[in-house]
Structure 1
Amino acid sequence: MITIGKIREKSGLLVGVIGGALLLFILGEVIRNMGTTIEANPRGEIYGESIDELRLTELIELFTNNERQMAAQQGREFTESDAKNAEDKAWNEYVRQTLLDKEFEALGITVSEDEIDALIFGYDGMPQNQMIAQYFPDSLGQGGVDMNALNDFVAKAEANETAQNGVDQNGQPTYFSYAEIYANIREEVASQRKAMKYVTLIEKGNYVTSLEAKDDYFAKNEVKNISYIFRPYFSQETSEMTLSEEQFNTYYEAHKDDKKYEQRASRVLQYISLDIKPSDEDKERGVSKLENLKDAFIQSQQDSLFVMLNSQNKQFNRNQVYRSAMMEGAPNSYPSSMDEQFQKAEVGTVVGPYVNGDRVEMAKVLGFETEKQAWVRHILIKAGGPEISFDAAQQKADSLIEVIKANDNFAELVKEVSEDPGSIENNGEYKWFQEGQMVTEFNDFSFNQPIGTLGTVKTTYGIHIVEVLGQREAKLPRLAVVTTNVDASEGTILTVEQEAKDIWSLMDEAPEKFETIAEEQNMFVRPVTVFLENPQLNGFSASAQSQVLRFGFGKGTQAMDVSEPIKDGSRYVIVQLKKIKEEGAPDKEDARQLMETDAKNEIIAEKYINEMSSQSDITKLGQQLDLPVQNAEVKFSTGNIGNNGNEPKVAGVLFSGLKDGQTTKPIAGRQGVYVVKLVKTVEPMATTDYSASKNEITARLVSGTSRNALQSLMKYADVKDYRMQVRIGAR
């Protein structure tokens, strides 16, 4: 028998099912990926009219309750992410209902009461609606329907019976109506049936003409054999080219209103963050906590049980080996500062407590394994790219070695010269790494050269100046580790908060020095652009994101303003509104990055076209320009020219009446300028039967019917989602 709990559990899902899961999924994707144009009014618009705020609020409450119940059933906390997910589902459902109800009405799509009965009970040749099996499953659990339970439920609904479903905040019983739930079920069955009719109607409307099928057949099978000369825009010849201000201004004025350069309304922000990390005093409390357990750990005969009872990280693996690590907190490691103690330890020794990142640990040695390890320091000179060859890098490395031998200044040169960011802070050192961990050439030098050797190694990264500082047969301890996590105390949090306020005060007084002040404080400035149509920030909590966006898009915030410190989990952020970008043509500063390459290519194309127009014989032109004559086969369906990818302009000329043996004038394509000779046209196999092409196109159209129809509805309805803009005060 179906339980009332099952009905209540599923009833929220009655809103949100349409024409099967596929249709709803597709609509959800369309909604999530759509762009919007900003106009006016509340949380959204459809067909140019404001949405029904009350109806949207009701749906949000319904889906939020569903998500909250789901979280409770799964034994987890209802989070900000759950609430956001529920709101998005409610919005999608509101849009779905609005769009499709309007379509159903316009097309006269209805479902009779007899149809609904047939779909619920599965008679008159109708397949029983799958939703009924979810609410009234049979005892076999094979997807069937318990008809006795269904009939009993319907009888109670028709008799207007009610049943208790809980108590309210005052402890008073609350009730639900069988009739109301049954009415919801019937409404949803009808909605699904209408959606199925709607999709079927559109699918049946797909038709491919014989002419379309013939064009498709030729596009895929007709081949143009060509010879061509290609002169790329980017080459050694043009790599040093720079635009004059006059040239850029000319291009900007001519193209600033082009659709491809249209600027979306946005805010350019930049921010710094101050992490709230445990202080030395906080860590010391963790050390003291484990010190009180140390004697008991030493005496313990059941190490796994001790770890499970006393460690916040309840993991125990008797066979796991641990290694020394330069970076604290790395998995299965201990800090390099503790390496000597572990190398000298014996089985049964308890080492620590010691700080390891954001936790304090102490470890009992259960046993050892051994491996070869090396300790080196290096300077990397990257090579192999356009900036420096391997030969030039080798010459530079050889010179630096002479400087090091004369001045013993390896560590100083690391900071000045090395291009390996992973080791600069450690003076270029990689301490006690295992054999085989590094690339082969680097590894062999480190392990095979005597200690004290200073030399060079060539790898795919470049040339390394390497000095071997040590080699050993290291002991790798197997450990039982007791851990306590170290959290920042209230005092530490207040200290960081005050530091953030002090920095903000400096920036607020001199906002033009935002980057300079950050650099003086050894802080990294992170830029981010947020678009008004869909304002969101990655990497921020929901509450911090709202505060940042309210600041960035607030009507009182001006360019260069700096926000007060904003708490974001375990950090404070200070944000500056760097620039306000309005919708439309970009200003010259913003346009430079967008247009510079295109502007260069236009000038290069004009120059190349003039030079390549001097000779109509493609072989002689290639000799004249020292360019190879290449061959390719081209189909209209792809438009690919050799290895240069799709070149629509070139393909367009080839398939627009060019005769075999004819040579084109120079064509400015996407990648460069082409001169093409049509050597031969290979016609496809003659046929009058294009049914295969017709069937293929039809199948493709039908498979995309739901998506294409809904995308068209979204576009036609001009759906606008203003929810976030309203939330952050941008509207």
Structure 2
Amino acid sequence: MAVIGKIQKNSYLLLIVIGLAMLAFIFTDSFKNFGGGEEPLPSGTIFGEEMNEKELSDLQQSYVDREKQNASYQGTDFDAEAEDNARDQAFNELVRKKLMGQELEALGLMVSSAELNDMVLGNNIHPWVSQIGMFKNNIGEYARDSVVKYLDGLQSGPDPSVDTALYSRWKNAKIQWSEFEKELKDARATDKFIALIKKGVYVNSLEAKDSYVGNNESRDITYVMHPYGSITEEEVGFTDADIKAYYQKHKNDKLYLQQSQSADIEFVQFPVSYSALDLERANEEMESLKVGFAQTDNNIYFMATKGEDKFYSDTTGFELGGDQFIMDVAANKYEYPASIDELVQNSKKGDVIGPFKTLDPQTNATQLVIAKVNGFTSQDRAWVRHILISTNSRTDAEAKSLGDSLIRVINAKNNFAEMVDKFTDDPGSKANGGEYKWFKKGAMVAEFEKAAFEGQKGKLQLVKTTYGYHIVEVLGQEARKLPKLAPIRKTVKPGVETIKEVENLAYDFINEVETAKDDSAFYRVSKEKNLVNNYAKVVLSSRFVTGFKDYRKIQKFAFAQDAEEGDISGPILDNSIIKVAYITSKVDEGVPSYEAVKLQMKVPALREKQAAHYIDIMSGIKNINEVANTIPSGQVKTANVKLGTGNIPGVGGNEYKVVGTVFSIDKENEGAMLTPLKGEAGVFLIVLDKVNEVAEQEDYTAEKESILTKRAATADANVMRALRDKANIVDNRQKKAAQGR
């Protein structure tokens, strides 16, 4: 890959290289494999058999179409993550059907038409039906009439000779509903299977008794614990050799087995910002939309097809705001910027105003907005300036007297702003000369509001509120037009030329790294170019990679069939940022290499060494007080422990093994000192002081019912887990996508 940057940057050279490669292909033995290539990778296997790709693809498309339609009805975005979730649901549903198929067939479990009707229209509506957006009323509740109306519409379709597109949509809807009904019946049959399993869950009296004893019987102990945190590596002579020994012993443990391929990468970023030319073109595009927007009678459709927002209203009232255009549905906040207020006030119904710039409050991206004026409402607003004389630090009489005095001075000298600076107790308006501009009714306390909206313009008023006395001067009053707007927003994006310019910078970086040919070149060149060197772990089975919005692109690089340590990527455009990545290490699934798990194994390896060291020291001492005097952190403590809790009061965290060992000692051995024990928090030496037995009960029904409830609650999950384990399911979807197989 030493010339990748130069080849990709120079398209002429690329053509030459491709031509030479084709000649080499044709005139060598490689023609023997023509038409072959890498074996296609199945999306998954169940019971060792490959999944039917068409069946999976059709089911995934059905789920995607359904969720997309549901999102449309609910007015929510259907993004890449939502599509991934829909495909996951389809995959899991296909797995469930395969797993349950043989079980249901063996038991003869079926679902009748009457049961299906009951789930869709009857008294036991299935959640899948009630959660569909188009089957809900305006307050979000399931509406049976909507289902009836929808199903009636599926009975007889439109004439295909009149409207082909409408007929196609009807036909697809009919097919989707038929598939949905099949899934409902499958789900209902599975519910019956799970119900049978739950009915078969049983707890016998001996289990109930053991549980009761375990939760109530206790042991009184005296103990000394030396915490691992007090034992240094130097004290026990801990070295890398101990980690390697631990690795050899535990490398096949499930905890350390790599469940998925992974790669460690470093990457640098080249932000791509729009240019002046990109902004000019975006303005031209928005200007061209204005003509059609002004002429259309279907504002909602035009907004949905031409804009980026899922905003299904063309009569929303917008108020005068600050610098930005705000459409916050969740907060019910709609504002247009002050910069276009003159345009708004001079507009009439049907006008399309804009385009004007704003910033997306979520991403801070620059957007252009055009908005169709669809009517007006009126709102009274006032503009005032004031001086607050607080009563917190003076009496009411003193505050009023000062207010009267200041009014006389201001009337005589016309120096309101000067008096604000010297006397006001309102920090919120002091920097603005005491002004509050164009606020609406309800924004101020009642007395202040009355002075602002009913007071004479230019006349000084002394108004008392809960804050103190205000000297108020009205600077303006008006009945402001508030527009009802149908907005279209579009993000200004960098064009092809702009991206190419930044891409060339990335290629220059790649060339320098590859020309250097040393292992530290990526890090060194990034520092020389003042680029931040970022790190991320890419896991093939994960859909999240730190620093990347689109995980697919970096996975395709990191897990390509020929990808190896030391490879450098071409420019990757991700979320308006061009990134270049470098593979520092790769780990295959299965038994990990020593280097891959060295850091992970260091702590447990150290714990083993620490425990062995102090178990050896404690084992030669027969008295617990002597042990306490021997170890640095020795302190004799007492505690009452129960098997059901698994912890020792005074010791953080669970100590199941230690507590279990204590409960293995019977009453005849009260007073015995146990051998030293390796715990989770440290090394223990314990004396069993007393066994507190519980009296045998005549009836363990309550305990039995408690266990039964817990078992029944997890029965379905446990059954599916057991079936999945038996089926040995392999999910290759991420690998298939990354390698293009």
Q: Is residue 225 from structure 1 mapped to residue 220 from structure 2 by the alignment?
A: yes
The aligned amino acid for 1:519 is K
Contact 2:60 2:87 in 1 (8 A): yes
Q: Which residues in structure 2 correspond to 1:111-126 (within 5 Å)? A: 111-112=111-112
Query: What is the DSSP-based 3-state SS (H/G/I as helix, E as strand, rest coil) of the residue aligned with 2:226?
Result: strand
The aligned amino acid for 2:526 is A
| Superposition deviation, residue 723 in structure 1 | 1.4
Hey, what does 1:197 align to over in structure 2?
192
Hey, what does 1:704 align to over in structure 2?
714
Hey, what does 2:85 align to over in structure 1?
85
Which of 647, 656, 664 aligns to 1:648? It is: 656
Query: What is the DSSP-based 3-state SS (H/G/I as helix, E as strand, rest coil) of the residue aligned with 1:633?
Result: strand
Query: What is the DSSP-based 3-state SS (H/G/I as helix, E as strand, rest coil) of the residue aligned with 1:260?
Result: coil
Q: Distance in 2 between matches of 1:162 and 1:505?
A: 64
> Given the superposition, is the C-alpha separation of residues 624 and 359 from structure 1 closer, same or farther in structure 2, using an over 3 Å criterion?
same
Q: Distance in 1 between matches of 2:664 and 2:165?
A: 81
Per-residue deviation, residues 491-516 of structure 1 (Å, max 9, x unmatched): 65443222211111112233621111
| Superposition deviation, residue 107 in structure 1 | 1.9
Q: Which residues in structure 2 correspond to 1:625-636 (within 5 Å)? A: 625=631, 627-636=634-643
Q: Which residues in structure 2 correspond to 1:269-280 (within 5 Å)? A: 269-277=265-273
The aligned amino acid for 2:563 is T
Q: Distance in 1 between matches of 2:727 and 2:692?
A: 47
Per-residue deviation, residues 38-70 of structure 1 (Å, max 9, x unmatched): x99411112221111111111122122223333
Unpaired runs of 5+ in structure 1?
Answer: 1-38, 287-303, 317-331, 333-352, 361-365, 372-472
Q: Distance in 2 between matches of 1:231 and 1:130?
A: 55
Hey, what does 1:206 align to over in structure 2?
201
Hey, what does 2:156 align to over in structure 1?
162
Which of 620, 624, 627 aligns to 2:630? It is: 624
Hey, what does 1:638 align to over in structure 2?
645
| Superposition deviation, residue 359 in structure 1 | 7.0
Hey, what does 2:264 align to over in structure 1?
268
Q: Distance in 2 between matches of 1:712 and 1:585?
A: 24
| Superposition deviation, residue 615 in structure 1 | 1.7
| Superposition deviation, residue 130 in structure 1 | 7.7
> Given the superposition, is the C-alpha separation of residues 729 and 168 from structure 1 closer, same or farther in structure 2, using an over 3 Å criterion?
farther
The aligned amino acid for 2:713 is S
Q: Is residue 591 from structure 1 mapped to residue 597 from structure 2 by the alignment?
A: yes
> Given the superposition, is the C-alpha separation of residues 179 and 567 from structure 1 closer, same or farther in structure 2, using an over 3 Å criterion?
closer
Per-residue deviation, residues 304-329 of structure 1 (Å, max 9, x unmatched): 99966x9653499xxxxxxxxxxxxx
Contact 2:97 2:186 in 1 (8 A): no
Q: Which residues in structure 2 correspond to 1:32-43 (within 5 Å)? A: 41-43=41-43
Hey, what does 1:253 align to over in structure 2?
248
The aligned amino acid for 2:156 is T
> Given the superposition, is the C-alpha separation of residues 369 and 721 from structure 1 closer, same or farther in structure 2, using an over 3 Å criterion?
farther
Q: Distance in 2 between matches of 1:140 and 1:499?
A: 54
| Superposition deviation, residue 191 in structure 1 | 3.1
| Superposition deviation, residue 586 in structure 1 | 2.9
- CA-based RMSD: 4.9
| Superposition deviation, residue 199 in structure 1 | 1.6
Hey, what does 1:313 align to over in structure 2?
325
> Given the superposition, is the C-alpha separation of residues 166 and 192 from structure 1 closer, same or farther in structure 2, using an over 3 Å criterion?
farther
Per-residue deviation, residues 371-403 of structure 1 (Å, max 9, x unmatched): 9xxxxxxxxxxxxxxxxxxxxxxxxxxxxxxxx
Query: What is the DSSP-based 3-state SS (H/G/I as helix, E as strand, rest coil) of the residue aligned with 1:57?
Result: helix
Q: Which residues in structure 2 correspond to 1:449-528 (within 5 Å)? A: 475=431, 492-509=498-515, 510=517, 512=519, 513-528=521-536
| Superposition deviation, residue 109 in structure 1 | 1.3
Q: Distance in 2 between matches of 1:43 and 1:636?
A: 46
| Superposition deviation, residue 645 in structure 1 | 2.2
Query: What is the DSSP-based 3-state SS (H/G/I as helix, E as strand, rest coil) of the residue aligned with 1:251?
Result: helix
Q: Taking structure 1 as the reference length, what is the TM-score of the superposition?
A: 0.61
Q: Distance in 2 between matches of 1:613 and 1:666?
A: 7
Which of 224, 229, 237 aligns to 1:234? It is: 229
Q: Distance in 2 between matches of 1:538 and 1:649?
A: 37
> Given the superposition, is the C-alpha separation of residues 478 and 663 from structure 1 closer, same or farther in structure 2, using an over 3 Å criterion?
farther
| Superposition deviation, residue 189 in structure 1 | 5.6
Q: Distance in 2 between matches of 1:484 and 1:100?
A: 48
Contact 1:369 1:475 in 2 (8 A): no
> Given the superposition, is the C-alpha separation of residues 81 and 511 from structure 1 closer, same or farther in structure 2, using an over 3 Å criterion?
farther
Q: Which residues in structure 2 correspond to 1:393-472 (within 5 Å)? A: none
Q: Distance in 1 between matches of 2:139 and 2:276?
A: 62
Per-residue deviation, residues 460-505 of structure 1 (Å, max 9, x unmatched): xxxxxxxxxxxxx98379789xx99986676654432222111111
Contact 1:663 1:677 in 2 (8 A): yes
Q: Distance in 1 between matches of 2:211 and 2:652?
A: 23
Hey, what does 1:570 align to over in structure 2?
576
Hey, what does 2:239 align to over in structure 1?
244
> Given the superposition, is the C-alpha separation of residues 479 and 584 from structure 1 closer, same or farther in structure 2, using an over 3 Å criterion?
farther
The aligned amino acid for 1:102 is Q
Contact 1:41 1:50 in 2 (8 A): no
Unpaired runs of 5+ in structure 2?
Answer: 1-38, 283-316, 329-336, 338-357, 368-382, 389-428, 439-488
Contact 2:557 2:569 in 1 (8 A): yes
Contact 1:268 1:579 in 2 (8 A): yes
Hey, what does 2:309 align to over in structure 1?
none
Per-residue deviation, residues 507-561 of structure 1 (Å, max 9, x unmatched): 223362111112222222222222334465255343xx32321111111222111
| Superposition deviation, residue 182 in structure 1 | 8.5
| Superposition deviation, residue 121 in structure 1 | 7.9
> Given the superposition, is the C-alpha separation of residues 556 and 183 from structure 1 closer, same or farther in structure 2, using an over 3 Å criterion?
closer
Q: Taking structure 2 as the reference length, what is the TM-score of the superposition?
A: 0.61
Query: What is the DSSP-based 3-state SS (H/G/I as helix, E as strand, rest coil) of the residue aligned with 1:270?
Result: strand
| Superposition deviation, residue 711 in structure 1 | 2.1
Hey, what does 2:564 align to over in structure 1?
558
Query: Please, which moves more after superposition, 483-492 or 696-705?
Result: 483-492
| Superposition deviation, residue 726 in structure 1 | 0.7
Q: Is residue 614 from structure 1 mapped to residue 620 from structure 2 by the alignment?
A: yes
| Superposition deviation, residue 649 in structure 1 | 2.4
Hey, what does 1:713 align to over in structure 2?
723
Q: Distance in 2 between matches of 1:502 and 1:706?
A: 57
> Given the superposition, is the C-alpha separation of residues 40 and 217 from structure 1 closer, same or farther in structure 2, using an over 3 Å criterion?
farther
The aligned amino acid for 2:728 is D
Contact 1:311 1:484 in 2 (8 A): no
Hey, what does 2:682 align to over in structure 1?
672
Query: What is the DSSP-based 3-state SS (H/G/I as helix, E as strand, rest coil) of the residue aligned with 1:200?
Result: helix
Query: Please, which moves more after superposition, 66-75 or 165-174?
Result: 165-174
| Superposition deviation, residue 235 in structure 1 | 1.2
Per-residue deviation, residues 195-216 of structure 1 (Å, max 9, x unmatched): 2321210011100111111111
The aligned amino acid for 1:272 is V
Q: Distance in 2 between matches of 1:148 and 1:259?
A: 49
Q: Distance in 2 between matches of 1:609 and 1:370?
A: 77
> Given the superposition, is the C-alpha separation of residues 631 and 541 from structure 1 closer, same or farther in structure 2, using an over 3 Å criterion?
same
Q: Is residue 695 from structure 1 mapped to residue 705 from structure 2 by the alignment?
A: yes
Per-residue deviation, residues 664-715 of structure 1 (Å, max 9, x unmatched): 1111112211100011111124313221111100011111222222222222
Contact 1:307 1:315 in 2 (8 A): no
> Given the superposition, is the C-alpha separation of residues 228 and 306 from structure 1 closer, same or farther in structure 2, using an over 3 Å criterion?
closer
Per-residue deviation, residues 170-200 of structure 1 (Å, max 9, x unmatched): 6584464999789667645643442232121
| Superposition deviation, residue 617 in structure 1 | 1.3
Per-residue deviation, residues 628-662 of structure 1 (Å, max 9, x unmatched): 10111111112212323222221122111252111
Q: Which residues in structure 2 correspond to 1:129-148 (within 5 Å)? A: none
Contact 1:228 1:629 in 2 (8 A): yes
Hey, what does 1:108 align to over in structure 2?
108
Q: Distance in 2 between matches of 1:369 and 1:558?
A: 71
| Superposition deviation, residue 162 in structure 1 | 3.3
Per-residue deviation, residues 253-279 of structure 1 (Å, max 9, x unmatched): 344334433234322222111222467
> Given the superposition, is the C-alpha separation of residues 609 and 45 from structure 1 closer, same or farther in structure 2, using an over 3 Å criterion?
same
Q: Distance in 2 between matches of 1:78 and 1:719?
A: 29
Query: What is the DSSP-based 3-state SS (H/G/I as helix, E as strand, rest coil) of the residue aligned with 1:728?
Result: helix
